[in-house]
Amino acid sequence: KFLFVCFPQAKYISQCIDEIKQELKQDNIAVKANAVCKLTYLQMLGYDISWAAFNIIEVMSASKFTFKRIGYLAASQCFHEGTDVIMLTTNQIRKDLSSPNQYDTGVALTGLSCFVTPDLARDLANDIMTLMSHTKPYIRKKAVLIMYKVFLKYPESLRPAFPRLKEKLEDPDPGVQSAAVNVICELARRNPKNYLSLAPLFFKLMTSSTNNWVLIKIIKLFGALTPLEPRLGKKLIEPLTNLIHSTSAMSLLYECVNTVIAVSMTWSFFQLCVQKLRILIEDSDQNLKYLGLLAMSKILKTHPKSVQSHKDLILQCLDDKDESIRLRALDLLYGMVSKKNLMEIVKKLMIHVDKAEGTTYRDELLTKIIDICSQSNYQYITNFEWYISILVELTRLEGTRHGHLIAAQMLDVAIRVKAIRKFAVSQMAMLLDNAHLIASNTQRNGICEVLYAAAWICGEFSEHLEEANQTLEAMLRPKVTTLPGHIQAVYVQNMVKLYASILQQKEQSGEKEAAQEITQLMIERLPQFVQSADLEVQERASCILQLIKYIQKLQIKEVPVAEEVIALFAGELNPVAPKAQKKVPVPEGLDLDAWINEPPSDSESEDEKPKTIFHDEEQRHSRHRQPEIDEEELARRREARKQEQANNPFYIKSSPSPQKRYQDTPGVEHIPVVQIDLSVPLKVPGMPMSDQYVKLEEERRHKQKLEKDKKKKKQKKEKRGKHHRHNSLHTESEEDIAPAHHVDIITEEMPENALPSDEDDKDPNDPYKALDIDLDKPLADSEKLPVQRHRNVETLKSPDSEAPLVEKKSKKPKKKEKKHKEKERDKGKKKEKEKKVIEEEEEKKVILQDLHYVRNCCYGPYLLLCSAVTYDIQGNLQNDSQVTVSVIFENKSTSFLKSMELNVLDSLNTKMLRPEGSSVHDGIPVPFQLPPGISNEAQFVFTLQSIVMAQKLKGTLSFIVKNDEGSTHEKLDFKLHFSCASYLITTPCYSDAFAKLLESGDLHMSSIKVDGISISFQHLLAKICFHHHFSVVERVDSCASMYSRSIQGHHVCLLVKKGENSVSIDGKCNDSTLLSNLLDEMKETLSKC
């Protein structure tokens, strides 16, 4: 048809375009249509055809279907919201929509779905809505689907069109029905709470429909609804089980399983899903395998145990030829390790490291091994010698980019696990000795980075070195100068530490000559570092060279120097938590923002500054060590070491290979290391030994178990006659595995009286841990009842008092907003945005009905942040130091808003939770953009330490306003008000528990009285419940007791009494400040009544 498709050369195309331009000028519509058709093809090839927009409209308007169809196709491919001529099409489209020919209508609808603009949506909404009731199902179906696009572009159409849309759920034509399901499901997925009332209807559809496409949609919808209405979960079990058992469609099965995972149902149901997933993973189809693993990783987050039993299967997947499947399996392994299986899993991974082709996957394996071992503060490691040897084995990896990761682990373990230092030092000395094998790869972050760690560990813990001389010599080899500068610098620094300890040792044993020899060695070899091109290395080396020359002078005069030299490196370096500085409490009365000295004026000379810096330095250097040598500990370690030596091939670093060591007599230890032939690329001695640990560990555990069993038998004997079935059924569990040797992991240091909070200890990136909540436990009263409670509150209200409350809420804000807008215009400002902050409870977007469906969190009224932004603060039950702030952004301007970023000025007490690695000055991007008239909700988490006082945080919302004139960057300041009430969680309390609480006498008391109250008592209680998150415990006439609990567990009890025109509230609470603040807030609410 078109020859040019075969020869799309640029020249040919431009020739074609010229031809097309000629054709478009002709009057013959057929020729024109054909030209447009060719243009559509060119558009697909990437050519701009927007210049022909008007011709396209001409062809769209053709009376013949043939041409119309081509015109609409071209329009749907190249028209968009910015196309100017699009508004010319309104009438043509309207005409086509009402054409007696259903295909004319169809083609117009299809086209519209691609290029509908807000204007078109507004103008044609009614026409399309009418088409939803067209006689032809072909048209009804399309009209229903287009309606969704119309809703998006013109949200005002949703409410009027919704009843008819709902009707279509029961359309006699299955195609129309499925279209309606599609649209409603899509709507509901975004805002599920508005569609809860349709649940019964969808439930009926789900049990009656046989169309898999429809079923998948409905199941997805229930996945979104169930979290809001937990009772749905129970109802879904039966139909979902039936589907899972009966369907042959994998897509449907997969959807069911995914939904079950998402809404967390019963344990047995979970097991069923895991079984089904196993079948998927075992399938030969790569796609099913991949998805099975993907779903497994979702289950792992909530039910790790049920996945752990399928470890074999997941390990098998590591052998898969498909890399994406292997990576999925690796992700799963991370969450599956336990003390029991860690060594085994890592062993398997090490085998894969050896086999892996391609550095990307190998590096992925390496990081995973380290992640798995180091997770939760090395929780699953029972034998650190094993871990160190794993790390040493990993240094064999050539071409890795993660040398620094291994190095960091070596340093961390050696510093924090004191018991392992001796072993670590021996291993590191070996690495240094074999540096030539590692140093061949000197790229940044390459494997040579481990030498950095090795040098530091050997230097810092040189007291553990068996052959310090030899290690020192290894560090002074000329080859070292080829290493990257930062590693050489560490070498230089640490060889002095080594030198100092050798010096001390020699002096103590009276070997003066040996001491002088070692000094001479240093003086001979150090100049190679003094010549380094790296400044850091050069500086350190020349300092040290001078120092050692001085030492030599003293040595010649026979002055003992060792004590003083070693004093240079006195003091233990303790690990300090990265967040320690932040945790230092600010002493009372200290204002960090105040100037200590008035800022210097410009005229002042600058040469005074350095003085103060030096002064500071001097003070900092006075560090003292208190070496604590515990005799018992030393003896114990010595004993342990002897034992270790017996079966530990690593220990003798001077033997050329571990195999040899076994055959040799102990005398071999004295063979000097120089005898190793360096030209032969030996395996680093002792390297492939982690496997032996696995074996040893197994034996050890077996032994342990036997011992335990013995003990148990003994116990049994003693207790014979009594029934003790539990013991006999006992199997080895996590707790039974005692660590190989006593390991004391030093926790990182925190400043004294650091502010108490564990917020930092929880790794926000560790979803598996955070979500480890037992979902099968029967609901506790505190979880279950908010639903009931709210109903109780409502029944308290007389029907006439409830209605106006809701109505007033919806009316009031509108008025207010209008007023603000007018004010704005008066001020002559361009945008309809309110810059002033209003912190009163004006916007009440939350519909009371919502409260029925909310567990675990309490909704308060959304406060008005500024006219475009409303927010609500909720406490987080799972975390006693976090609140979630939900912010609704509404774009009231006529411009497009994008790149919104919300930032607040953190206070000491309250901080916005930012992603790791970002500074306090970074805002958090709002995850959406706002077209005009649209609103959307985003959530931000804040951490706080004390909740006894209300907080105000200043913040800024920055965004880009985009309109026809271009885009501008705008800012909106606001204040976030964290009232004390927002830290309360509506918690029901029974009257007897309430009484006990009051009797306990642990509570502080305070009371308030408010005059001029005119509203009814029910209404008043409802207000306290709603705004201050209380629940009514008991009510007698005009007196009621109320209760609430703070996220940090404070109990708050109230006794509310109503007099003639006043109300008095007596409160009791664990914390008197919190109580008085809460009462003040209540007073403010009530005084407005």
Residue 131's nearest CA partner among 160, 150, 109 is 109
Indicate the DSSP class of residue 99: -
SS3 letters across 985-1018: ECCCCCHHHHHHHHHCCCCEEEEEEEECCCCCHH
Least Cβ distance, residue 251 to other proteins (angstroms): 4
Residues from 929 through 958 that contact other proteins (CB under 8 A): 929, 931
Residues from 422 through 451 that contact other proteins (CB under 8 A): none
For residue 927, state whether it binds other proteins (rule: CB under 8 A). yes
Widest distance between CA atoms in the chain: 116
Stretch near other proteins under the rule CB under 8 A, chosen from 62-70, 479-487, 498-506, 1033-1041: 62-70
Stretch near other proteins under the rule CB under 8 A, chosen from 73-81, 348-356, 719-727, 1067-1075: 73-81
Q: Is residue 875 helix, strand or coil?
A: strand
Task: Name the residue nearer to other proteins (CB basis): 323 or 880.
Answer: 323
Amino acid at site 108: A
Task: Name the residue nearer to other proteins (CB basis): 357 or 607.
Answer: 357
Task: Name the residue nearer to other proteins (CB basis): 220 or 1050.
Answer: 220
Residues 6 or more apart whose CB falls under 8 angstroms from that of 900 comprise: 889, 925, 926, 928, 929, 930, 957, 958, 959
Using the rule CB under 8 A, which residue among 95, 190, 234, 711 binds other proteins?
Answer: 190
Least Cβ distance, residue 925 to other proteins (angstroms): 9
Q: In the structure encoding, which two tokens stand for residue 638, read together?
A: 């010595």
Least Cβ distance, residue 128 to other proteins (angstroms): 12
Least Cβ distance, residue 309 to other proteins (angstroms): 24
For residue 1, state whether it binds other proteins (rule: CB under 8 A). yes
Task: Name the residue nearer to other proteins (CB basis): 183 or 465.
Answer: 183
Least Cβ distance, residue 255 to other proteins (angstroms): 5
Residues from 660 through 689 that contact other proteins (CB under 8 A): none
DSSP 3-state helix, strand, coil percentages of the chain (rounded to 5)? 60, 10, 30
Return d(Cα 370, Cα 653) in angstroms, integer: 25
Q: What is the distance, to the nearest Å, from the Cα of residue 142 to the centroid of all Cα atoms in its chain?
A: 41
Ramachandran angles phi, psi of 97, nearest 5°: -60, -35
User: Kind and range of the H or E element at 377?
Assistant: helix 359-378
For residue 926, state whether it binds other proteins (rule: CB under 8 A). no
Task: Name the residue nearer to other proteins (CB basis): 77 or 1064.
Answer: 77
Using the rule CB under 8 A, which residue among 52, 60, 86, 146 binds other proteins?
Answer: 146
Task: Name the residue nearer to other proteins (CB basis): 85 or 568.
Answer: 85
Stretch near other proteins under the rule CB under 8 A, chosen from 109-117, 164-172, 735-743, 879-887: 109-117
H-state helical runs in 476-534? 485-508, 512-525, 527-530
Handedness of CA 18, 22, 25, 27 (dihedral sign): negative
Residues from 383 through 402 that contact other proteins (CB under 8 A): none
Q: Are 763 and 769 in contact (CB under 8 A)?
A: yes
Residues from 991 through 1030 that contact other proteins (CB under 8 A): none
x/- mask, other proteins, residues 626-665, rule CB under 8 A, reads ----------------------------------------
Ramachandran angles phi, psi of 1008, nearest 5°: -135, 165
Q: In the structure encoding, which two tokens stand for residue 752, read together?
A: 């004294």
Stretch near other proteins under the rule CB under 8 A, chosen from 148-156, 469-477, 628-636, 826-834: 148-156
Using the rule CB under 8 A, which residue among 17, 56, 60, 73 binds other proteins?
Answer: 73
Task: Name the residue nearer to other proteins (CB basis): 66 or 810.
Answer: 66
Q: Are 1078 and 980 in contact (CB under 8 A)?
A: yes
Distance set, CA 1030 to CA 798, 804, 884, 1084 (Å):
19, 22, 19, 16
Count CB atoms within 10 A of the CB of residue 990: 13
Task: Name the residue nearer to other proteins (CB basis): 220 or 362.
Answer: 220
Q: Are 911 and 757 in contact (CB under 8 A)?
A: no
Residues from 17 through 46 that contact other proteins (CB under 8 A): 29-31, 34, 37, 40-41, 44-46
Task: Name the residue nearer to other proteins (CB basis): 308 or 929.
Answer: 929
For residue 540, state whether it binds other proteins (rule: CB under 8 A). no
Stretch near other proteins under the rule CB under 8 A, chosen from 176-184, 597-605, 986-994, 1012-1020: 176-184
Task: Name the residue nearer to other proteins (CB basis): 269 or 928.
Answer: 928
Residues from 301 through 340 that contact other proteins (CB under 8 A): 321-325
For residue 966, state whether it binds other proteins (rule: CB under 8 A). no
For residue 65, state whether it binds other proteins (rule: CB under 8 A). yes
Task: Name the residue nearer to other proteins (CB basis): 323 or 842.
Answer: 323
For residue 911, state whether it binds other proteins (rule: CB under 8 A). no
**Strand ranges across the sheet with 966-978:** 924-925, 896-904, 951-963, 966-978
Least Cβ distance, residue 872 to other proteins (angstroms): 23
Least Cβ distance, residue 43 to other proteins (angstroms): 9
Residue 392's nearest CA partner among 360, 435, 357 is 435
Task: Name the residue nearer to other proteins (CB basis): 215 or 475.
Answer: 215
Residue 892's nearest CA partner among 839, 964, 820 is 820
Q: Is residue 884 helix, strand or coil?
A: strand
Return d(Cα 753, Cα 303) in angstroms, integer: 38
Residues from 202 through 221 that contact other proteins (CB under 8 A): 211, 213-214, 216, 220
Stretch near other proteins under the rule CB under 8 A, chosen from 59-67, 693-701, 1004-1012, 1030-1038: 59-67
Residues from 89 through 108 that contact other proteins (CB under 8 A): 101, 103, 106-107
Return d(Cα 105, Cα 1087) in angstroms, integer: 61
Least Cβ distance, residue 400 to other proteins (angstroms): 23
Amino acid at site 161: A
User: Kind and range of the H or E element at 901?
Assistant: strand 896-904
The bridge status of strand 1031-1036 relative to strand 1051-1058 is: unpaired
Residues from 273 through 302 that contact other proteins (CB under 8 A): 286-291
For residue 247, state whether it binds other proteins (rule: CB under 8 A). no
Q: Are 1065 and 1082 in contact (CB under 8 A)?
A: yes
Task: Name the residue nearer to other proteins (CB basis): 261 or 652.
Answer: 261
Q: In the structure encoding, which two tokens stand for residue 739, read together?
A: 């660590």
976 strand-pairing partners: 953
Count CB atoms within 10 A of the CB of residue 416: 20
Stretch near other proteins under the rule CB under 8 A, chosen from 52-60, 340-348, 818-826, 926-934: 926-934
Q: What is the distance, to the nearest Å, from the Cα of residue 378 to the centroid of all Cα atoms in its chain?
A: 20
For residue 80, state whether it binds other proteins (rule: CB under 8 A). yes
Using the rule CB under 8 A, which residue among 48, 357, 607, 964 binds other proteins?
Answer: 48
For residue 180, state whether it binds other proteins (rule: CB under 8 A). no
Amino acid at site 451: L
Residues 6 or more apart whose CB falls under 8 angstroms from that of 668 comprise: 652, 654, 655, 660, 661
Q: Is residue 1031 helix, strand or coil?
A: strand
Helix axes 512-525, 468-475, angle to 10 degrees: 10
For residue 172, state whether it binds other proteins (rule: CB under 8 A). no
Least Cβ distance, residue 226 to other proteins (angstroms): 14
Using the rule CB under 8 A, which residue among 109, 924, 947, 1024 binds other proteins?
Answer: 109
Stretch near other proteins under the rule CB under 8 A, chosen from 67-75, 435-443, 830-838, 984-992: 67-75
Residue given tokens 């037992």 in the structure block: 774
Least Cβ distance, residue 172 to other proteins (angstroms): 15
Least Cβ distance, residue 116 to other proteins (angstroms): 9
Least Cβ distance, residue 246 to other proteins (angstroms): 17
For residue 165, state whether it binds other proteins (rule: CB under 8 A). no
